[in-house]
Structure formats: structure tokens, C-alpha cells
Structure 1
Amino acid sequence: MNQANDAKDALASQLKETIKYLGATLGETIEAELGSDWLARIEQVRHDGRHSSRGEQQSTERLAHTISSLDNQSLLTIGRAFAQFLNLANIAEQEFNSKAQEDQSLSQYFTDLLNAQNQSAKKEDILRAIETLDIDMVLTAHPTEVTRRTLIHKHRALASQLQLLHNPNLTSVEQRKVKARIGDLIAQAWHTEEIRSVRPTPVDEARWGYSVIESSLWEAVPDFLRDLDDLLQTKFDSQLPLDAKPVQFSSWMGGDRDGNPFVTSSVTQEVLLRARRRAAKLFLQDLNELYVELSMNACNQSVRELVGDVKEPYRALLKPLVKKLEKTREGRVPYKQWLQSNDELLNPLILCYQSLLECGMQVIANGALLNTIRRAHAFGIHLLKLDIRQDSQRHADVFSELTRYLGLGDYNQWSEEDKQAFLLRELGSRRPLIPKNWTPSEEVKEVLDTCRVIAKHGRAGFGIYIISMASEPSDVLAVQLLLKESGVDWPMPVAPLFETLDDLNNSPDVMNALLSIDWYRGYINGRQYVMIGYSDSAKDAGSLAAGWAQYSSQEALVKIAEKQNITLTLFHGRGGTIGRGGLPAKAAIHSQPPGSLAGGFRVTEQGETIRYKFGMPQLAKRSLSLYASAVVEAITSPPPEPKQRWRELITQMAELGCENYRKTVRYDEEFVPYFRVATPEQELGKLPLGSRPAKRKPSGGIESLRAIPWIFAWAQTRLVLPSWLGVMRAIEAVNTEDNQADVQQMIEQWPFFASRLSMLDMVFKKADPAISEAYDKRLVPDKLAHFGKALREELTQSMQSLLSITGHEHMMEDDPLGRDSMNIRAGYLQPLHYLQIELLDRVRKAESAGQEGEDVQTLERAMMVAITGIAVGIRNTG
């Protein structure tokens, strides 16, 4: 144990030295461009920032004074320097995590599981859970990824160089070469524009998703599957089937049109075609390698019959596939000449594999060829399965316009019973419902065109169709009728998304009603998907009430599925932040209700969290191992069902938490004015974060603000209000002397409740009342100053309350690595916060005075750099 701790301490020391080295290299780059005076100024700001973050008032005052005395261009330079410092710190930490967790192999996870004390799971149960693993990672680009793709590429290259630098066998010559390359990459990043000039399009976002697969997951997935196969062979005397697909990847990029007018049917079509071409490119690289390697002559009869009497049968067998992949990659031939199905890709590969086995060449069969077969099953010719998401009202509007055209009345005005009767009648009819000569509005045509794109590309290219703001069975039936009328001749899974507090609470009734419809039961063929929304529910009711509603609805849905003999797959729409349901993977999985993983595990991975979990092959492999072991453990050793007393107490807490939260956010007239001036919410609209607008409705108020900018704005000022507001006060109110023993039992024995407190622990480490107060002093008018003061008082009281209930002395006591990580970045974040305060004041004054011109543009660019830098430093944007 001491040796392991010594190794971790050595790595931690190496991390600090690496960050120091990278910072010094950046300093050299800045000095080369701007001179030694500028470097000295930046060093002074860095020094004051570090001491200010530790609470030294004199350093804080000097930091604020230095920044307020700078001109606009100098503010931009300071912002760029510290944003770059934080990027470099994150890269160093990512490489450190990759190295520190090398010993956390899949085999180690399962060895721990098998050896765990009080392990009730039998070995056969664990084996069965491994064999039925079904994990679907859905890559999304809401997006919260603030870093440009060109910089991400440089950051990946830099991480690779750090890995080389830390190789103990590196010669002095090789070390100089690596350091020169590191200096080159840091200089490239410094001289590259870090802020996008225009918003990325949905196609740009999809291309970013493809690059994650190409640069990381393409290697990580077969490596992970080899580990899983080795585990089965060594621990369970079993083997991973050739067609096993325990993990797969889906995407929302180019398919999520909920409130995003830029995701159109033509965009979806383009994204699907680009994915096909990128998949062809990647498989062609594999096939060209196999073409070189598979030069042997011996083959079985099946291969010989196909290729005839040739000296190199495997090359002859693969050559037509290579030609087909080349045509698909180029995309210059008619679509029908592209590779059309996964079978076209897999069949020649499997024939080669079986022949090699039969001819005694197992080592060759299980080399690069097996990797390609594994990739073909995991990614396929579509690379990613594309989900489609649309708001329920858009579907209803199609039928409203259509029924009025047909003289049947207005569908939107009908009762739920009448809607269901109409939809079921048309679903059972063989005649077309939509007249050929009908010319619908542009909005309706767009919905229909999307369904026709689905029909054109077929089952293999798509995941599921998600209906946001689903509240009635007719919302689901409407989509199924639209798909039928558009020529979709296969039962595409349709998932209602329950996201508001009311929708979550009503979800069992909706699903019970839906599953009681005979036609619907036949359509789903025993498999139902339901998506649970975390973002909007937390924004609606606060994190505690939302969390309990999510748990309760899942628990009820699991019981309904068991009663109806339906396989239920719950799809978790989590974000990276606490206010959007974010949790470490294992904690998130183990906090789910018992039985909720029986139908597989499907979860969104979004924005910057994709890069942190899957941005490097080693990290991606570890993330997949962590997910797999956590799912197996949760299935074989499920958390306990909450005791009735626990239910009573958490229900009281949730009700009080919702009341506390809404009293401030919904019902206090001063809240919105305070929010608008105390945070950079208005300025966020100018940041070209992603393709989606910040609001669902451009004319809407706070209620229409998306969950991401809502969370993002509060994180920028370190008040992180949505993640904690009202929670600890509710828990304190219930944690009376009579209830303390039960509450303590909930902490110790119920993962759901323990995870709530663990999330708050992380939130409170990121929160900083002093920084929030600094924003208020400069930006908030005197008549609203009391509002922020009251919020900070509750924040401080909540922090003390959490420490008291957990018995800890400090935040994140149980996660020293995470705590150290935040402490390292704190000193670099401090200057950016004071910079942002200064910039917000100047930008708003310039706008009020109607100023324009180059000086104002510099201010706005500096503002974007500060927002981006703080997001990078906190490592949670939305």
C-alpha cells in the first residue's frame, strides 16, 4: 500500500512540475512576441492571482487595481495568457490521469468485484451480466465544448508529446526533440485565434464527433474488447463472441432539432452521408493494412470457391470490398454504388477469419483482422447511429394543419381521447392519409421531410426518435403515424422524453396508458425506450426535487415494464454539470433504482465531457472499462430499495427543496433583474458556442433560456446557484433530532442520497462566495445588492451544513485528487474572474453609450476569451 501511495505522490509531484514547465514555455512564447516587460506583468498578475485565491486581501486589491488600469488591448492579452495557462494545465492533468490510472484495468475492476467483501453476486451472475452488456454512449454537441477544433488538435498532439517526455527511457537527444516540439505546439496555440468567428453549424459539430471516433475510439474500442475477452477467458472460462457489441455509439449531432432551426432535413441528410464517407475512410485504412498483411496462401474451401485458384486468396477476397470502400469514401459515384449494408462489410472479413482459424493461423486471425471485425460491429458503415429529436408540438402542428385542410377540424383542439382514436385509426389504415396535392407550410414540410430522410436511409443508420416535452400517449402515436406516412417500413423506436417535474411525475400514467394499447404493444415488439431529462427538470424545480422525481419515475417505469413483460431501456439525458444531472460515471450508475439497468444503459455524453472521457485512446479505454464494470456491479449487486421511512423523508426534503428553489427563481420579482446584471448571461448570447440558439424562443424570458446557458452563466461567477439553491435548507429542516438517525442511515446505505451530497460536495468546492461578491460590487446596482448578499449567505450556510452532516472538515475530503486539481487551477482562474468583471463593466457602459468601432470589438473579443477561459478552468460549461 505504501509503495502505491508513493507512486501516486510521485505522479502528483510530476503533474505540478509539468504544469510549471508548460507555463514557463508559454511565458517564453509570450516574451518572444511581446517582450520581457509584458512577461513580468503577466507574472505579477499570476502571483497576485494565486495569493488572492487563498484569501489574501492585499493581493486581491492589487490584482483588481492592475486589471482596471489596463487598456482594452492589454486586457485581451492578459485574458489570452491565462486562458492558455488553464488549457495547458488541463492537458497536463489529462495526461496525468491517463498515466495514474494505467493500473485500473478492466481485469482489476472485476477482480475487485469478485473479491469484494459482502459480495452477494455469484460468479455466474457476473458472467451473465458481462455477456448481456448493452452500453450506448450518445455523443451530443449541445454543445458545451468551447474550444475550437483546430486547438483541440494541437492539444491532443501536445498530450502525446507529454507522454513521450515522461518516458523514463528517453535519451537526452530525444528529450530535446520532444521539448522542441512542445514549444512549437504551445507557440502554435498562442498564435492561433482561440475564439470562433462564427458559430459552428450542425455539420461542423457532427464532424467534430467523427474526429473523436477517428482519433481515439477507433483504437480504444477494440482494445477494450480484447481486455473484456481476456477477462472472460481467464476469470470465467468463457469467450467474447465474434459479433459481440457490448458498447456502441450514437449521436445527436445533426439529428437534434429541438429548438434548433439550423438542424433541417437537408442537414440530417448531409450528416448521414458524411458519416458514411468517414466510416468508409476509416475501414479503408484498416483494409489496406489487412491487404498488406494477409498474403498467405492456405485457405478453406469456402474462400477457395469464391476466389478460385489464386496464390493470395485473402487479398483476392478483400479486393472488391476495398474498391467499394474507395467509391463510398470519395462519394463521387451514385449513392447506390456505395457500400449499402453492414453485411457487405462484415461477410468478407468473417470469411477470412474463419478460414484462418481452420488453417491453423489463429494468431493471424486474432490480430488486426479481429480488430476490424470488432469495429465493424461497434461502428458499422454508418459510424454512428443518429438519433432524431423533435418537440411534441411540432408533430401536433402537422396534424393540426392537415386535419384543417381535410375538413376534419383542428387536431390541436381535440381531446386526448379523440387524438388517440384518430391516430390509431390511421395507423391501421392502408390508404395514405396525406394527399399528394397538399402544400403544407414550411414548418410542417420540414417535419415531413425529416421523416422521409429516415425512410431513405433505413434502420441501420438510426438510433431512436425522441419526443421532447412528451406528456400524452398521443405524442408518441403521432410520431409513429408520421413515420408510416413517410414510408418508414420498419418499427423505429420512439422514446418519449419526460423532463419537467410534472412530466416526470406523470410519466407512469402516460406509459401505462400507452402500453395498454394493443396496436402499440404489437409495434414495439417487447422493447420500450424512455428518456429521462435531467437539465430542464433541475431548472424547473431545483436539483433535489428533480433528482427525486427522476428516481421515482424510473422506479415506477421499471415496475410497469416488469408487469407488462416489456424490456425497458432508460435513456439518461445527463449533462456534465451537477445542475444538469452530472455525476461521476460509477456514482451515476449506482444511484439508479434497482432493476433500471435490465434493458441496457444509454446515456448522453456531451461537449467537453466527451473530450475529458474519450479524448485520448487510453482515457477512452479506461472510461469504457469503468462504465462496463459499474453497470455489471449495479446489475449483480443492486443498491437497496429505499426503506419507507427514507421515502417519507426524501419526499419531504424534495418538496421543501422545490419550494425553496421556486420561491427565489420563479416568484421573487427581483431574481431576473439580478440574474441579468450579476452574471454574463446576456453576453453569452454573443459567444459562438454551438449551432443552437441560447433560447428556445428568441422573444422568451428566463423560462425559455436553455439549461446550458442557465448553468453556464452562474458557473462563470462561481455562485453555481442552480446546483445547490434550497437543497441544504430543505435537508436541514427535515434532519431534526427525531430524524437524524434515519438521515444518517440514508447517507451510509442509500447510494441515491449519498450521491446527492457527493454532488453538493463538488459544487461547493467550485463555488466561491468572495468571487461572486466581487461581481456584485462592480456590476449590481445598490437596490439589488441585498439579493446577492442573501444568496451568498445561504451558500455559506449550506457549505457549513454539508460539512456538519457528513462529518468532514473540508470539501472533497474523500477525493483528494479532485480537490488538488481544483486548487491547481484556482490561481489561474482568479485573474480571469477579475478580468471578466472589468470587461463586463466596460462592455455594458459602451453598449449604453452606443459606442462602436475597433475598440469595442476588442472589448467583446476579450470578453469571449474570459468566458472561454473560465469555462476551461472550471471544466464545466453547461
Structure 2
Amino acid sequence: MVSSPTPTEVLDVVGRLEAEKGIPEQMRADVRLLGRLLGHILSESGSAGLFEDVERLRAATIEAYTDPTSDAFDRAVEIVGGFTPERADEVVRAFTVYFHLVNLAEEHHRVRVLRERDGASPRDPRGTVAGAYAALVDEVGEDAALKGVEGLEFHPVFTAHPTEARRRAVSTSIRRLSELLGELEAGPRGGGAEKRTQRGMLEEIDTLWRTSPIRRDKPSPLDEVRTVMNVFDDTLFTTVPEIYRHVDDAVRGTGTGGAAPVVKPFVRIGSWVGGDRDGNPFVTAEISRSAAAIASDHVLHGLERATQRVGRGLTLSEASTPPSADVEALWERLRGLDEESAAEIAKRSPGETHRAVMLMLSRKITATRERNADLAYRAPEEFLADLRVVQDSLVAAGAARQAYGELQDLIWQAETFGFHLTELEVRQHSAVHAKVLAELESGSVRSELTEEVLEVFRTIADVQERFGLRAAGRYIVSFTQSAEDLANVHRLARHAVGASGTPPVLDVIPLFETFDDLQAAPGIMAEIVDHPEFASRLEATGRKLEIMLGYSDSSKDVGPVAATLALYEAQADIAEWARAKDIELTLFHGRGGALGRGGGPANSAILAQPPHSVDGRFKLTEQGEVIFARYGDPDIAQRHVDQVAAAILTAGAPSNEARNHGAADRFADVAARMETSSRARFFELVKADGFAPWFATVTPMEEVGLLALGSRPARRGLSVESLEDLRAIPWVFAWTQARINLAGWFGLGTALQSVGDEQVLRDAYAEWPLFRTMIDNVAMSLAKTDERIAREYLALGDRDDLAGLVLDEMSLTRDWVIRITGGDGLLSNKPVLQRAVKLRSPYVDALSLLQLRALRALRDADETAETDPEVQRLLLLAVSGVAAGLQNTG
């Protein structure tokens, strides 16, 4: 029987861990407060003895983490094995709530630090547009630097990939708790206000504890659309103009507001949510139509409120601020459209023409949302034209601050979001197009699939007609392997509208995913640009072209090291081809949150790109938990976009491009050896007989498919006999859950060993941005692994040869990464990141042990027996908890 630790022993163990982590005092206070409140709830709302069991397991896993020589790991295994099913369920939920609270405390501290930096004098310019612009002015001069700012474009594309294990109800409760934590920090201590706030926090934590962390049913695609809309409503709509204002301040050197801004809107929000139908049968043409309508409704609501707010504030009398003739004419035109509303507004705004016009514009936005044709705008350009009439009038009357204050923010919002909010992108597999075309051109009866594919094109045309060309029109072709795969999209569009119809305006975007496809990309593009419809669209856009690169499948195809190097080479070749053809290239990076899917800090990745592959433009997918981590809080969203914009600006600096080009040449032999050896090592594992079913046995890959994470199926077929049918997302997610993270690092140790020269590799880490980014990302990935727990998962498969291969490569990679980066452990040179990992790892270990308990029970059960629902629930709860603890899961 395992004895319970005394409270003093628990505090001693926890104190040692906190001291080692070096948590800032304010954050430590938040963690302790939230942990104490959680303990109160567990004692109050949990079953008898729950709090004590949680503390026993917590103390054991912390001791095992801080002192690997102790017997604490075995004690933790014994504790978990002794839980009843009901108690195991409660313990998993308790640790999951703890992770949500720790994540909240860390986010709150990040916001605190950002606000302290923002208020500092002078402000720290590192990693900001202000710093990047100043450095660029020094390097290329003010005119060229300003041109770089004017050409900035950052295009995040939100996707609904099923890696966000957190329910929306849980997210809502966490956001309310965050607000209460802010109130507690800002308010007086020791009085009634503090007690009321803490009572509110206890209520929210109790709600978190009582809310099931897993969904009963998979969300529909429209549920996913509405989830993304929360980010827009809560953050993006108000944050985007603040971002532009911040950049304008940086460029001008003084506060803006009294003169016309020099910064053009550079953020464009794309969305695959409701448009990505590659392998998702639930995304139909009707879903895409509804997704566009939902997004439009949200942005029109936002514009309606903002226009009304600006109007109400423009209480400028005609005596002090005479309206221009154009504003007078606009008022007369508006009055003619809606005399009743105009009379009411004029009565409330006597002698305040600018105010009256803005309030009428708000009515026109309402009519647009309600589809009242008599008063509605036909396009956002009409709305912007009216706003600029008012702005010009204010400037002419001497009211520049009113012209370039909140009214400018509204103009920026309308320019960024239009009436569509997100630019809906459609994605479909090239094989589907080929199949449908073969059916159409054979003259056979049209199948349901064919009718649906054709209806998608008609839907794109309808969305463009209703919301404008920017609302839809980008069409991504998955697994592009030939120019014909791209030409097929235009052929299908013509079939959809018939001989007399007009096809929608389409930007057809190839998605190159596998190793072979990446290498073939330049040749395919050289052929397709001469295709009539492609060439016509190229000329219509000023020779702008977009190409998407897939990180996930290339990594699953040849391993993370070879994929990283292949992606770099593909970008360099495509960028060189585009420059020779006088094409303005935008590379679209299909990155996920996890390291095996191209994850990691976006700003460092941008700075490591080949010369001319960025040129002021960066587009990437943002999915799952990454959307809420980067855009869920206004301060963090502003800092993230500032960092990314700074990196985009810096990437095109001659010095940065020369550095990347020089390093790639200098270490070309190193790259070649690493690519060859890492790929061979990866194939040794994944091409071994029986690998696919072994992988499904030693990870919860099959069980992850049971979680109601997203609307999209986890794999393309029903079999796990081949990795070909397995999507890259569950491939990564499953290895992460097993605490192995293989998709992020496997093969790197062998690659570094093949080079062998430690000094050369240290030089590469210091001088070669691509190599440094790869090593840093692998260090993060390995820091989240746990060898003892990995061994337990691998033992489920009864294949010592494959398990040994994984563990040997893990050890080899860890050793080489530490030798290259220096220090006595992983992330020694990244203390903040190291702290974040150490803060969570012992608690993730506890959940992993509970997940293992459930997996063993499932694996040991007779194949003909019914799955124990209690065991299955425990497993799914643990999957959700581990995802919350590790954060960048997929």
C-alpha cells in the first residue's frame, strides 16, 4: 500500500519544482491562487478523498520528474493502478482543469508583461515593426523602407482541423475566469471586492470541474464556423485597427491621429472553415453558402455598431466644422432613400451634418445585413466611398483629429473585412476532380458526387455576386501532381455554368504536399502559366500568383528533417522561377500547431525562408488551439501580428537574404548528408513490416478518432494497414499523446551523427537560420517527451525491434541537440519556453499514466468483447487533458 504524503511533504516537493522552474513571482502567485481555489472545489464538490488522491499522485509525479533516481515513478504507477474507475475519472478531470488554469495564468502573465513593455519608456523595439522599420531605414534608406511597409501583407487562414480538444463551453468559462483574474489584480486587496471576485472565481472553477471536457457529438461544420466567429467578435474586429495604428506610430515616429496614415491595411483573414471539403463529406456547397452568410452577418453587425458609435461621437456643429458640398449632397441622397429615418436623425442632430450622415450610414449597413434592397449597399466599396466623403469634409473643415481618429479605425475595418469578413477558400482533392470530369465527359448519368462538385462552383459565383470577389474565389487543389490537375478546375467551372453561363472568378492554387511533388513544383508551374484561363487571371491580377506548400504530408512522407530541407529547396526554386517570369509570388504555408506539421514560432520561421520567397507577403494556415492561443486575447493578438509583420519586413532586407543564401551555400554538403541519412532512418522505421498496425497499437490513434474533436474524419479509409490512408493530423496527434512526439524529430539524431563534426554543426546553428529553427523546434518537441512513459506505450506493441529503434533515435537526437545548443539540458538557451514545459510536464505525466491504464485495458480485452464504456471514457478524458497540458498538439 502506498502511503499518503503529509501536507508538508507535498509542499516541499512542489516548492523544489517551482524553485527550479524559476517562475516569475506574479505568475507564481496566480498559479498558487488558482491551484488553491481548485483544491477548495475538489474538496467541496468531489467525492470523499478525491483531493487527497490528487495530491498523492501530484507529489509522486513531481518527485519523479525532479529526481529520476527515486522510486517515485513506480509509486505513481501504483497509485494510478489502485484507483477505482470512478476515482480515475475524477482525477483525470481534476488535472485537466488544472491545465486550463495554468494555461490561463501563463496567458495572463504574458498580457501583463506586454502591457508593462508597452508602457515602458523607451519601449523595447526588438521583434516589433518599429524596430524592423528602423533597422531597414539604416540598411536601405527611408524611401525603400517605407515602400516595404506599404507592401506588407499578412494573411492567416483559419482552418477547422480537429486538434482543438477543448469544448467551446470550457473556453467560455476560461474567458470569464480570465476577466475575474484581471479584476482581482486591478482591484483593492483585503476588502469586500476581493471576496466577491474570489467567490466568482470559485463559481467558474466549479463550473469547469462540473462541465464534461469532451463533447458528446462531433461538431458540425457550421458549429466550427461559429467557433471561429468568436475570435472575430471578441478580438479581431477591434484589434486590427489598433495594429495598424501601432505600425503607423512606428513609421511616423510620433502618434498618429492628426494626419492621414501612411500604413495600408495589411491583414487579410482567410478561412477554410466551411470550405475545405478534401476528405470531409460533411462540407457541402450549402454549408459553404451558409458559412459565407454567417461570416457576413457578423462583420455587418460589427460595422453597424462601429458606424453608429462614430456617428454619435461626431457632435461637431456646422458653425465650427462646416460640412463640404459633397457631404451636403450625400445627406440629400441619403434623405431621399429613407425620409422617415433621416427626419428622426435630423431632429436628434440639429446643425450636426457629419453626425447625421454617419448615423444614416449605420442605417444603410443595417439594411445591407437585413437585405433591404432599397437602402442596402451593393458592395463595401460604396460604403468606403461614403466614409471618405465624410473624412475629406472633416479634414477640409480643420477637424483632422476627428477625420483620422475613430473614423479612420472604421475605414481600416471596412478595408480589411469588407462585407465578407473572411475570404472563404475551397479545397478539394485532385483525384475527385479527375473522377468527376471523366464522368461528365463520358456522357454517363451524373452521380451525386458530380452534382455536388458542380454546385460548389455555382456557390462560389453566388457568394461573389452577393459579397464581392474577395469573399470567395481561391480554390486549392490538394495533391497537385500535374498542370492538368490545375486546368481541371477551370474545366469543371465551365461545366457548372453551362455554355451560356459565366464561370466564377477563380484563383486556382496548387498544393504541393509530398516530397516528389515539392521537387516537381517548378516544372508544373512553368507549364500551367501558359494555360489560357490561368494566363488570363495572371494578367488580370497584375501577375500575382499563389502556391501552397504542405508541411504535414511531406513530413509523414519522408520524415521531418528531409521534409524541412525539401520545403526550403522547393521555395527557393519556385521563388527563382517566379522572379524570372516577373510574377509576384505568395507562398502559402500549410503549417499546423505541432512541430511535425511545421509548427513553432512563425516569426523565426519567416526569417529562415529563402531569398525572395517572402518579399513582404506571408500566408499560413492557423488551426485548432493555435487560433485561440494567438488570436483569443487582444493584447496577445496584437503582439503576435506585430512580431509576424516585423519578421515579414525583415525577411526582405538584403542582409537577411544574403545571410540565408550564404548559409544555404556554405552548409549545402551538411544539408545533403542530413537529408539522405534522415530519410533512410525514417524509412527504416515506417517501411518496416507491420509498422502501421504497430503504430495503431502503441498510440491511441484509433481511439483519437472516437473523440468528437472536429467534423472531419481522422482518416481517408477504414484500414490502418497503410499510412497512406492516415491523415497527417492524427499521425502527429497520436505520437504526441504517447509522449513520443516522433513526427517532430525522428531521424534528426542520425542526420547529425552522419555529419559528425560538432563544431561544424555549432557553426551551422549560429549562422544558418533554417538549421537553427529546426534544432530549436526539435528541442521543444523533445522537451515534451518522456522516455519512461514512452517505453510504457511502446511496450503495448510487442515489437522490441521497432520500440528499440524509436528509443535509440530519441536518445541520439536528444544528445546531439544538447551538444549543439549548449547547456546541461534541452531548452537551456530558451528559459521562458523551458519554464513553460517544466511547469506542465509532471502533471501531464499523471494524465499519461491514467491514459496508459485505459489503453492497456482496451488492448488486453478480448477482441470480440464489448468495449467497456468506462474505460473508453477514461481514455478520451485523458486525451483531452494531455492536449490541454501540451498545448501544441496538432
Tell me the SS of whatever aligns to 2:446.
Answer: coil
CA gap 1:821/1:248 in 2 versus in 1, 3 angstroms: same
Matched, 1:465 2:465: no
Deviations 1:650-687 (A, max 9, x none): 0221122111101211x211422321221111111101
Alignment of 1:175-324 (within 5 A): 175-234=194-253, 241=261, 244-298=264-318, 299-308=323-332, 310=346, 311=350, 312-324=352-364
Give the equivalent residue in structure 1 for 2:113.
100
Q: What CA deviation, in whole Å up to 9, does each residue of 1:468-503 have, x standing for no partner?
A: 100111111111232344355564211100010000
Counterpart in the other structure of 2:545 = 528
Q: Which moved more, 1:373-382 or 1:474-483?
A: 474-483
2:53 corresponds to 1:61: no
Structure 1 SS opposite 2:656? coil
Indicate conservation of the 8 Å contact 2:551/2:590, yes or no: yes
Q: Is the 8 A contact 1:498 1:504 kept in 2?
A: yes
Does residue 750 (structure 1) correspond to residue 768 (structure 2)? The answer is yes
For the residues of structure 2 that align with 1:202 and 1:267, how far apart are their CA atoms? 7
Moved more, 311-320 or 474-483: 311-320
Alignment of 1:706-855 (within 5 A): 706-736=727-757, 742-777=760-795, 779-781=796-798, 784-846=799-861, 848=863, 850-851=865-866
Q: What residue in structure 1 maps to residue 153 of structure 2?
A: 134
Q: Distance in 1 between matches of 2:217 and 2:455?
A: 27
Amino acid at match of 2:621: T
One of 436, 446, 458 as aligned partner of 1:440: 446
Q: Is the CA contact 1:473–1:511 (under 8 Å) kept in the aligned structure 2?
A: yes
Paired letter, 2:493: L
How many Å separate the matches in 2 of 1:824 and 1:744? 29
Q: How far 1:594 moved relative to its partner?
A: 0.9
Q: CA deviation at 1:699?
A: 4.1
Aligned residues, how many? 826
The answer on whether the counterparts of 2:165 and 2:709 sit within 8 Å (CA) in structure 1 is yes
Q: 2:626 corresponds to which letter in structure 1?
A: T
CA shift at 1:336, angstroms?
9.2
2:460 and 2:504 in contact (8 A); partners too: no
**Distance in 2 between the 1:579 and 1:84 partners?**
27
SS at match of 2:166: coil
Using the TM superposition, give the Cα deviation of residue 276 of structure 1 relative to its aligned residue in structure 2, in angstroms: 1.2
Residue 318 of structure 1, CA deviation? 3.4
Deviations 1:50-71 (A, max 9, x none): 1122325422222211211222
Q: Is the 8 A contact 1:491 1:524 kept in 2?
A: no
Q: Deviations over 1:340-364 (max 9, x none)?
A: 3112432332222222222222232
Which residue of the partner structure matches residue 430 of structure 1?
A: none
1:563 CA drift (Å): 0.7
Deviations 1:205-235 (A, max 9, x none): 1111111011111221111111111112217
Quick check: 2:304–2:363 contact (8 Å CA) kept in 1?
no
State the SS of the aligned residue for 2:249.
Answer: helix
Paired residue secondary structure (1:130): helix
Is the 8 Å Cα contact of residues 248 and 378 (structure 1) preserved in structure 2? yes
Residue by residue over 1:701-734, the C-alpha shift from the partner in whole angstroms, topping out at 9 and shown as x without a partner, is: 3221111110011111111111111122122112
Q: Which residue in the other structure is 1:515 paired with?
A: 529
Q: Give, in angstroms, the shift of residue 403 of structure 1.
A: 1.5
Which structure 2 residues correspond to residues 563-574 of structure 1 after superposition, within 5 A? 563-574=580-591
Q: Show CA shifts across 1:495-526 (max 9, x none).
A: 10001000001101111122344653233121
Alignment of 1:517-556 (within 5 A): 517=531, 520-525=534-539, 526-556=543-573
Q: Does 1:379 align with 2:417?
A: yes
CA contact 1:764–1:799 (8 Å) conserved in 2: yes
Change (3 A) 1:192 1:404: same
Q: Which residue identity lines up with residue 377 of structure 1 in the other structure?
A: E
Question: Residue 33 of structure 1: CA displacement?
Answer: 1.5
Instruction: Indicate the residue corresponding to 1:632 in structure 2.
Output: 649
Offset of 1:689 from its aligned partner?
0.9
Would you say the 8 A contact 2:477–2:486 is kept in 1?
A: yes
**Structure 2 counterpart of 1:428:** none
Residue matched to 2:461: 455
Runs of 5+ unmatched residues, structure 1? 1-8, 406-437
CA drift of 1:46 comes to 1.4
Structure 2 counterpart of 1:767, which letter?
T
2:167 equivalent among 136, 139, 148: 148
Alignment match, 1:45: 57
Contact 2:553 2:728 in 1 (8 A): yes
Tell me the distance in 2 between the aligned counterparts of 1:335 and 1:232. 42
Higher mean C-alpha displacement, 306-315 vs 136-145? 306-315
Contact 2:549 2:587 in 1 (8 A): yes
Q: 2:639 aligns with which of 622, 644, 650?
A: 622
Tell me the distance in 1 between the aligned counterparts of 2:189 and 2:401.
32
Work out whether residues 106 and 629 of structure 1, in 8 Å CA contact, stay in contact via their aligned partners in 2. no
> Residues 545, 119 of structure 1: CA spacing in aligned structure 2 closer, same or farther, 3 A cutoff?
farther
Distance 1:115 1:361 in 2: 31
Amino acid of the structure 1 residue aligned with 2:111: S
**What residue in structure 1 maps to residue 396 of structure 2?**
358
Amino acid corresponding to residue 709 of structure 1 in structure 2: P
Local SS of the residue matching 2:588: strand
Deviations 1:287-320 (A, max 9, x none): 2322322333322211112224953323432344
Query: Percent identity between the aligned chains?
Result: 30
Mapping for residues 635-714 of structure 1, pairs under 5 Å = 635-636=652-653, 637-639=655-657, 640=659, 641=661, 642-665=663-686, 667-699=687-719, 701-714=722-735
Distance (whole Å) between structure 1 residues aligned to residue 103 and residue 314 of structure 2:
42
- Runs of 5+ unmatched residues, structure 2: 1-20, 336-345
Aligned: 1:24 with 2:36: yes
Contact 1:106/1:228 (<8 A) preserved? no
**Cα gap change, 1:390 to 1:334, in 2 (>3 Å):** farther
Deviations 1:270-296 (A, max 9, x none): 101111111122122212322322333
**Alpha-carbon displacement from aligned partner over 1:714-756 (angstroms, at most 9, x marks no partner):** 11111111111112212211234xxx65544322221111111
Any conservation in 2 of the 1:318–1:348 contact (CA below 8 Å)?
A: no
* CA distance in 2 between partners of 1:244 and 1:788 (Å): 54
For the residues of structure 2 that align with 1:521 and 1:810, how far apart are their CA atoms? 54
Greater RCO, CA 8 A, separation 6+: 1
SS of the aligned residue for 1:244 comes to: coil
Q: Give the aligned partner of residue 517 of structure 2.
A: 503
Letter in 2 for 1:543: P
Are positions 1:398 and 2:436 aligned together?
Answer: yes
Which one-letter code corresponds to 1:478 in the other structure?
Answer: N
Q: Kindly tell me: are residues 326 and 11 of structure 1, through their superposed partners in 2, closer, same or farther at Cα, counting changes over 3 Å?
A: farther
How big is the shift at 1:121? 4.0
Greater alpha carbon shift after TM alignment, 238-247 vs 797-806 = 238-247
Matched, 1:167 2:186: yes
Deviation (angstroms), 1:810 = 1.4
Letter in 1 for 2:508: V
Cα deviations by residue, 1:430-450 (Å, 9 ceiling, x for unpaired): xxxxxxxx8511111111000
- Which amino acid in the other structure matches residue 870 of structure 1? V
Candidates 867, 871, 879, aligned match of 1:867: 879
Q: CA deviation at 1:386?
A: 0.6
CA gap of 1:61–1:243, structure 2 versus 1, over 3 A, is closer
TM-score by length of 1: 0.90
